[in-house]
A and B are shown apart, each in its own frame.
Chain A
Amino acid sequence: MDEGLAEFSIQQAQKLGASYVEARLEETTANALVMKNGAIEASSFDHFEGIGIRFLIHKKLGFVSTNELTKKRISEILEKAIKLAKATRTMGENISLSKEKTEKAKYEVKQKKKLVDIGIEEKIKLLQEANQAINRTKIKVPSRYVVLSDTDTREYFTNSDGSKIFAHVPKMNFYYFLTISANNKTTQRYWVYGASGGWEQVLKWNIPKIFTKEVISMNNILKKGIKTPQGTMPIVCGPQVTGIMVHESCGHPYEADRILGREAAQAGESYIQKGMKGKKLGSSIVSIADDPTIPNSYGYFLYDNEGVKARRKILMKNGKVNEFLQNRETASAFKTKSNGSSRAADFEKEPIIRMSNTFMLPGDYKEEELFEGIKKGIYMKNFMEWNIDDKRLNQKYTGAEAYLIENGEISTPIISPILEVSSLKMYPAIDAIAKNVELHAGDCGKGEPMASMPVTLGGPSIRLQGLRIK
């Protein structure tokens, strides 16, 4: 990686009149292995290198990228991009950036077992063991689609304020989609695991065990599951469900660019408005954080892609709106400071506000204590189908592995319980929070063109009262 090209880009854009410039050089190696129905389908390995440059000229914002890493080409594309940004003179929004500390840093995620040393044979062996684990259960799993992938990204960020940041973050991802079949019926389940670090993180997941547990649980639901009783009753949600809830109806609506309407035509709007800080939207025991600094997490970074130092943000604090996800652009509009939430999916995408690791903070209970005292209720351990409206109010979660709670204990498996609820009713309905925080991986979509971003979503098991289950 030739850092000189990033410095050159800054100087060149300044020569052309830019008042602010940032350049992000990226080099990524990527590997993926696909197994379909027990057989290795294909594998891929790749190497990307390129530069993304963002600038302000006459207060107008522009972005340009290329994978032709020569001074000549960078000069050519910059000239073109600056001309285009200048042409927005009468129509363009006047953009200013919050003043932030200049940072000089170098950080790296340590790998005990380096990904580069893991041969394809070892990865194949792991997926085969996982497949055999399914076979050993003797349960019919007619479709099995599995992808094991990793990326190793080195980036150099610099800007005209003088920040210079090197980052080296290897990440890995394991995705599965299984169809379980019995008595002429099927049920399906997908999930994703992700981490930053070395191969040791993959081994920690214990993929064969994940498959064994998943297949046995879902087969039990398929064979013994009864129709979900409808009505208003206590609901206990497992960490995966809590995770998707906080991602969709707290993380996204607390993104300041959404609040300002900047994502209106793509990822949508928000029920949260600029002046809502301090407004009570949840029960007092609910606090939700977004924290990129968690070691070995899938949403890990220490400096964002505007060069701002990352930190934990408490989005909802004791049920009240506390802090939004800000970049330098929105921070300026909100007259505050950036909290380091700007991320570029790759060198071809402009950095925008993104979540990192978003999760509900733990409570005082053990998970089993949440069931105590429930005469009849629902335990939704995980889910398949979910969606949410444009403003992040009306959301639906349909359980995959789920059970009745009877007289304080988990009892009969149930089929596809549905929680369809407004955010304004859901967060106040939480009356107990357990300690068992889990972080689960996801790839979050936002922007145009669509920029997929590694994040985690999580939290502990929670109990909700007074909501209707369908």
Chain B
Amino acid sequence: MKHEEIAHFLLEELQRKGADDVVLQLNTGENTLIKFSNNKISTTKTWESTNLSIFVTKDQKLLNTSLKSFDKEHAKRSAENIIKIITKMQANKDYKGIAQGPFKYRTENELYDKKIEDMNEEMIDLVKQAIDTARKKTKRTAGTFEKTVGESYLLTSNNVEAREKGSGLYFSIRTFIDKNSSGYGSCVSRIKNKLKILQATEHATQIAKEAHRPKKAMSGKFDVIFAPHAMAAIVERLADNASIFSVESGLSCLKNQLGKKIANEQVSLYDDATIANGYGSTIFDAEGTPTQRTPIIEKGILKNYLHNASTAKRYKTKSTGNAGLISPRIFSVSLKEGKQNKEELFSQIKKGIYITNVWYTRFQNHETGDFSTIPRDGAFYIENGKIKTALKDIRISENMLKLIKNISVLSNECTQIKSWEVETPTFVPYALVKDVNITKPN
């Protein structure tokens, strides 16, 4: 309560000194992480912080800062300093203001579980179970198990006052038969009882087993099945391209594509921070607008860019509830599932490749969408729907727009992915993509 009082005091001080828009976001959080490698826990980590983020505008000049000492004296000095510095700034003519509250917010939907707050030593037992499970079929494991508990309080000069409490668990595991044969699995949940650690472990273990004795690389055009971890890394990038910030900064292949058909009819992509138990779900964005399910691509057509209140005004549209403190951002990406089961996808492959995970997705040109990404963990050559052999040393060298256009079938079940490579939680099914360009090294 004391910290919230300081936030109110700071808001008044800033307004009294002539600030136009003010957004104050008080975040408190505590994280615990168990890191394991070589079948042993290698370290335990706990970190906590309390932070008041401050966004202030005056005469269309924008400033971000924060307050770490929560007393009136520091708040007063901070307000003075902010106004002193902001007057020396230059106006951002593109800035059109923050969201006008008050807003009505939906009730929290599986975002917080008190049971997670109380987990500590139990996390070690769960890691042990995972390692024991993996060791039945593989030789070596490494991974992390992280717990997050936090609260957010938002106060703005435009009549917004909102609170949100959240918890989360994130487990990731890599299992190895040997240096060349590995599998990856991960799971996330906001609710303790919904975390599927053993399922993620079994998934990783199965891939590692199948990846045993990989053959050398192949290159050429192949029909490729992307498992959720691989597809999420690509789809997360695509969704991020829909932020109007990306579009304006040259970081988007979706520029000039609004209203155009960019994929086949079964492809629908959303940013959806309203999903129950979504690791990236949140009730309100950084300026207090309630979050929503925003279609980015619907039935293959690019429907929306992601906006905050300011950019929405500029483009004569409505905020999509995607405000970050400066620019719109994705919260929780969702690629709609298809109708066939995973096995049916495999049965459609005569000669193709199955990729379970990728990393290092890098672009030569973000606007044209030319990029490459490199498989990590099991990758396989498929013949007549069956895994024929494990592959190594392959790379996907492609164009994002072409790859999206070539999505041919999506499986009927989505998995929520967060991983070292996928920072924004992303719901994805398995995907069959036609004519994917696979390359190999010298």
Residues of chain A at the chain B interface (Cβ within 8 Å): 34, 36-37, 39-50, 52, 60-68, 77, 80-81, 83-85, 87-88, 90-93, 95, 119-121, 124, 142-143, 145, 177-179, 186-188, 260-269, 348, 350, 384-391, 393-396, 398, 400, 416, 418-422, 425-426, 448-450, 467-468, 470
The reply to whether A421 and B442 form a contact with Cβ atoms under 8 Å apart is yes
With contact pairs A186-B368, A389-B376 given, residues A92 and B94 touching in the complex (Cβ less than 8 Å): no
Give the complex CA separation of A16 and B46 in angstroms: 17
Give the complex CA separation of A48 and B32 in angstroms: 21
Q: Mark B82-103, 1 if CB is under 8 A from A, else 0.
A: 0001001110111000000000
The reply to whether B33 and A448 form a contact with Cβ atoms under 8 Å apart is yes
Question: Shortest distance in angstroms between A118's beta carbon and chain B's nearest beta carbon?
Answer: 12
Give the complex CA separation of A425 and B441 in angstroms: 10
Given A64-B46, A394-B395, list of 4 further CB < 8 A pairs?
Answer: A40-B89, A268-B359, A385-B372, A387-B361
With contact pairs A188-B365, A265-B37 given, residues A63 and B124 touching in the complex (Cβ less than 8 Å): no
A-B contact number at CB 8 A = 256
B-chain residues with CB within 8 Å of residue A42 when the two chains form the complex: 62-64, 92, 326
Does any Cβ of A come within 8 Å of B248's Cβ? yes
Give the complex CA separation of A68 and B249 in angstroms: 38
The reply to whether B326 and A62 form a contact with Cβ atoms under 8 Å apart is no
Question: Shortest distance in angstroms between B177's beta carbon and chain A's nearest beta carbon?
Answer: 13
Does any Cβ of A come within 8 Å of B348's Cβ? no
18 A-B residue pairings within 8 Å (CB atoms): A36-B249, A40-B92, A45-B85, A60-B44, A88-B41, A88-B44, A91-B41, A120-B85, A187-B365, A264-B176, A266-B144, A350-B45, A387-B374, A387-B395, A391-B179, A393-B441, A450-B420, A470-B439
Residues of chain B at the chain A interface (Cβ within 8 Å): 31-38, 40-51, 62-66, 68, 85, 88-90, 92-94, 120-121, 124, 127-128, 131, 140, 142-144, 146, 172-174, 176, 179, 182, 184, 248-251, 326, 359-368, 370-377, 393, 395, 397, 420, 423, 439-442
Closest to A141 in B: B250
A-chain residues with CB within 8 Å of residue B47 when the two chains form the complex: 52, 63-66, 348
B-chain residues with CB within 8 Å of residue A87 when the two chains form the complex: 120-121, 124
A-chain residues with CB within 8 Å of residue B172 when the two chains form the complex: 265
Question: Shortest distance in angstroms between B298's beta carbon and chain A's nearest beta carbon?
Answer: 27
Our pick among A143, A387, A393 for the contact of B360 (Cβ within 8 Å) is: A387
B-chain residues with CB within 8 Å of residue A40 when the two chains form the complex: 89-90, 92
The reply to whether A43 and B48 form a contact with Cβ atoms under 8 Å apart is no
Listed from nearest, the 9 A-B pairs whose CB atoms lie closest are A143-B250, A387-B360, A264-B142, A179-B250, A44-B64, A93-B40, A385-B364, A42-B62, A265-B142
Question: Shortest distance in angstroms between A234's beta carbon and chain B's nearest beta carbon?
Answer: 14
Give the complex CA separation of A387 and B374 in angstroms: 7
Give the complex CA separation of A115 and B366 in angstroms: 34
Give the complex CA separation of A453 and B405 in angstroms: 37
A-chain residues with CB within 8 Å of residue B121 when the two chains form the complex: 83-84, 87
B-chain residues with CB within 8 Å of residue A396 when the two chains form the complex: 372, 374, 395, 397, 439, 441
The reply to whether B65 and A44 form a contact with Cβ atoms under 8 Å apart is yes
Our pick among A43, A45, A52, A265 for the contact of B420 (Cβ within 8 Å) is: A265
B-chain residues with CB within 8 Å of residue A395 when the two chains form the complex: 441
Closest to A395 in B: B441
The reply to whether B367 and A388 form a contact with Cβ atoms under 8 Å apart is no
Question: Shortest distance in angstroms between A140's beta carbon and chain B's nearest beta carbon?
Answer: 12
The reply to whether B140 and A261 form a contact with Cβ atoms under 8 Å apart is yes
B-chain residues with CB within 8 Å of residue A41 when the two chains form the complex: 62, 92, 94, 326
With contact pairs A186-B365, A386-B362 given, residues A61 and B249 touching in the complex (Cβ less than 8 Å): no
Closest to B78 in A: A47
B-chain residues with CB within 8 Å of residue A416 when the two chains form the complex: 364, 370
Among B32, B33, B37, B143: residue with most chain A CB under 10 A: B37
The reply to whether B248 and A36 form a contact with Cβ atoms under 8 Å apart is yes
The reply to whether A422 and B441 form a contact with Cβ atoms under 8 Å apart is yes
The reply to whether B90 and A261 form a contact with Cβ atoms under 8 Å apart is no
The reply to whether B63 and A62 form a contact with Cβ atoms under 8 Å apart is no
The reply to whether A63 and B44 form a contact with Cβ atoms under 8 Å apart is yes
A-chain residues with CB within 8 Å of residue B38 when the two chains form the complex: 93, 260-262
B-chain residues with CB within 8 Å of residue A389 when the two chains form the complex: 374-376, 393
The reply to whether B48 and A66 form a contact with Cβ atoms under 8 Å apart is yes
B-chain residues with CB within 8 Å of residue A262 when the two chains form the complex: 37-38, 42, 142
Closest to A49 in B: B68
B-chain residues with CB within 8 Å of residue A426 when the two chains form the complex: 442
Question: Shortest distance in angstroms between B33's beta carbon and chain A's nearest beta carbon?
Answer: 7
Give the complex CA separation of A82 and B124 in angstroms: 14
Question: Shortest distance in angstroms between A194's beta carbon and chain B's nearest beta carbon?
Answer: 20
B-chain residues with CB within 8 Å of residue A268 when the two chains form the complex: 359, 376
A-chain residues with CB within 8 Å of residue B176 when the two chains form the complex: 264
The reply to whether B128 and A91 form a contact with Cβ atoms under 8 Å apart is yes
The reply to whether B62 and A84 form a contact with Cβ atoms under 8 Å apart is no
The reply to whether A124 and B362 form a contact with Cβ atoms under 8 Å apart is no
B-chain residues with CB within 8 Å of residue A81 when the two chains form the complex: 44, 46
The reply to whether A67 and B68 form a contact with Cβ atoms under 8 Å apart is yes
Give the complex CA separation of A121 and B251 in angstroms: 28
The reply to whether A84 and B44 form a contact with Cβ atoms under 8 Å apart is yes
Closest to B420 in A: A266
Give the complex CA separation of A87 and B377 in angstroms: 31
Our pick among B33, B42, B251, B395 for the contact of A177 (Cβ within 8 Å) is: B251
With contact pairs A265-B143, A398-B364 given, residues A121 and B33 touching in the complex (Cβ less than 8 Å): no
With contact pairs A47-B68, A84-B121, A350-B45 given, residues A143 and B248 touching in the complex (Cβ less than 8 Å): yes
Give the complex CA separation of A45 and B38 in angstroms: 42
A-chain residues with CB within 8 Å of residue B395 when the two chains form the complex: 387, 394, 396, 420
Give the complex CA separation of A90 and B121 in angstroms: 12
Question: Shortest distance in angstroms between B361's beta carbon and chain A's nearest beta carbon?
Answer: 8
Question: Shortest distance in angstroms between B316's beta carbon and chain A's nearest beta carbon?
Answer: 19
Among A47, A91, A393, A470: residue with most chain B CB under 10 A: A91
Question: Shortest distance in angstroms between B200's beta carbon and chain A's nearest beta carbon?
Answer: 12
Our pick among B32, B42, B51, B63 for the contact of A84 (Cβ within 8 Å) is: B32
A-chain residues with CB within 8 Å of residue B248 when the two chains form the complex: 36-37, 143
The reply to whether A179 and B439 form a contact with Cβ atoms under 8 Å apart is no
Among A60, A145, A398: residue with most chain B CB under 10 A: A398
Closest to A44 in B: B64
Question: Shortest distance in angstroms between B63's beta carbon and chain A's nearest beta carbon?
Answer: 6
Our pick among A119, A265, A391 for the contact of B88 (Cβ within 8 Å) is: A119
Closest to B184 in A: A265
Give the complex CA separation of A47 and B124 in angstroms: 35
Question: Shortest distance in angstroms between A464's beta carbon and chain B's nearest beta carbon?
Answer: 10
With contact pairs A188-B366, A264-B37, A265-B37 given, residues A91 and B49 touching in the complex (Cβ less than 8 Å): no
Question: Shortest distance in angstroms between B365's beta carbon and chain A's nearest beta carbon?
Answer: 5
Closest to B367 in A: A186
The reply to whether B251 and A80 form a contact with Cβ atoms under 8 Å apart is no
Closest to B250 in A: A143
Give the complex CA separation of A231 and B364 in angstroms: 21
B-chain residues with CB within 8 Å of residue A88 when the two chains form the complex: 34, 41, 44, 124
With contact pairs A84-B44, A350-B45, A448-B33 given, residues A44 and B442 touching in the complex (Cβ less than 8 Å): no
Question: Shortest distance in angstroms between A2's beta carbon and chain B's nearest beta carbon?
Answer: 13
Question: Shortest distance in angstroms between B222's beta carbon and chain A's nearest beta carbon?
Answer: 17
Give the complex CA separation of A203 and B441 in angstroms: 41
A-chain residues with CB within 8 Å of residue B46 when the two chains form the complex: 62-65, 77, 80-81, 84
